[in-house]
Amino acid sequence: MSDPHDADRLRKLEDRIDALKETQAPQPRADEHYSQAQAGWRMVTELVAGLLIGFSIGYGLDVLFGTLPILLVLFTLLGFAAGVRVMLRTAQEIQSDAVDRAITDKDATEGEKD
């Protein structure tokens, strides 16, 4: 038969092994990280979407009112401006996320040194 002392030691050993396994477990992947290609495609998509929406609205209004080139050009330019504005806002958002991530990483490495 086993000694109760051995069962207690075995339980403590299992607890230590479980604690070590938890520290070695991979960290969950964060989806906040953007690669440069993802950021570029996102911005291109936003610009093209703005152009297409502006073109569609302009063409639709021109057909409705019978003034074919005027509103088409006007709304295409407005769509381009809106696409550029959204694209710049996205770039600013990605840049601020990168700065926040760099500050967090810096704080974490300084905490490890202490």
With CA atoms as reference, report the closest residue to 34 among 107, 100, 84. Answer: 100
Residue 110, pLDDT > 90, answer no
Q: Is the pLDDT of residue 112 over 60?
A: yes
Do residues 71 and 65 make contact, with C-beta atoms less than 8 angstroms apart?
A: yes
Between 19 and 49, whose confidence is greater?
Answer: 49
> Can you give the pLDDT at residue 63?
95
Burial class, 75, CB count within 10 angstroms (exposed 0-12 / middle 13-18 / buried 19+): buried
pLDDT digits (tens, 9 = 90+) for 35-74: 888 889 999 999 999 999 999 999 999 999 999 899 999 9
Q: Among candidates 97, 52, 48, which has minimal Cα distance to 76?
A: 52
Three-state DSSP state, 68: helix
- The Cα 92–Cα 44 span in angstroms is 15
Domain extent listing, the chain = 37-114
pLDDT (mean) for 3-11: 83
